[in-house]
Amino acid sequence: MGKGEGENQTSITEFILLGFGNVPELQVLLLLLLPVIYVVTVAGNILIIVLVASDQHLHTPMYFFLGNLSCLETCYISIILPRLLASLLTGNRTISVNGCFIQLHFFGSLVGAECYLLAAMSYDRYLAICKPLHYAARMKGRFCLKLAAGSWLWPFVASTLLVCLVSQLIFCGPNEIDHFFCDFTPMTKLSCNDTNLVILVSFILCSIEVLSTFILTVTSYISIITTILRIPSTTGRKKAFSTCSSHLMVVTIFFGTLIIVYMLPDVAVLRDLNKVLSVFYTVLTPLANPLIYSLRNREVKEAMRKVIQTMRHSQKFRWI
């Protein structure tokens, strides 16, 4: 018997996002923390965008990609967090089927774009440290624009294709998604249709976007670390590593939790762990991005100092 045979084929019009409803204490903690995290994340990432755009010293490929990453993180957290906060505040966990498709589409697009941007940043650091004589010739403005445009465009196309396939499925109940946002696997489990084709396409696209960029990033950092270890002086090694340590921390948090979440077996015992780990790459990675780059990066701190000084001078002039 097929998956949908013998079942009620009435198509549902809305889903219920269960979120963390089975852990009331965690809901209270999230309600207190998430608004602060959202404000800090958006403000921090917008600050980095402003600094990169306004400071001439940051008009380099590394900071061009960082500006793109900060823009992405601002969009990324805004897809997930406001909806989660609204459900925690009102207790209304429903979301329309079309609303779920839209959230899934933008979530998939932005996750893919982040994978490509992080890989592009690791390639930039690889050239700067391992091939310094070729860096200026290869990382020209037009090439960087193409890398950034491709990082945004291809995941958008891939996510559009996947969501178009998912939208052809019939959802006839139950309508409860055991997650705090519309993720692919919990959604397709609720379909009455045969989902083999959709799952196959999803696997192929994820392999292209996540695994390929992860392998490229790991390969780049193996070469970077090998090159750094060959530097004879301790000071030289520290200086070289400082140029990529911030990016390495962001990469580790993002790819580490993303791979763990989607490699965990889909069993009831691990679902709560899956949701907690999902918080890392949907909420904490966008928060970590501005904090790590602003606290550990000398150029960003210097640009921030200049902005603060300019603001103080303008305020002083206004009073005069």
Round to whole Å and give the CA distance between 167 and 205: 17
Round to whole Å and give the CA distance between 192 and 174: 10
Question: In the block, which residue shows the tokens 């799952």?
Answer: 199
Q: pLDDT class for 239, splitting at 50, 70, 90?
A: confident
DSSP state, 191? B
Residues in CB range of 134: below 8 A, 6 or more apart: 127
Q: pLDDT tens digit string along 218-234?
A: 999 999 989 888 888 88
Round to whole Å and give the CA distance between 228 and 165: 46
Q: pTM for the whole thing?
A: 0.86
Residue 267 has pLDDT above 80, yes or no: no
Q: pLDDT tens digit string along 87-138?
A: 888 888 899 999 999 999 999 999 999 999 999 999 999 999 899 888 989 9
**Distances in Å between the alpha carbon of 270 and those of 87, 121, 274?**
23, 33, 6
Round to whole Å and give the CA distance between 154 and 160: 10
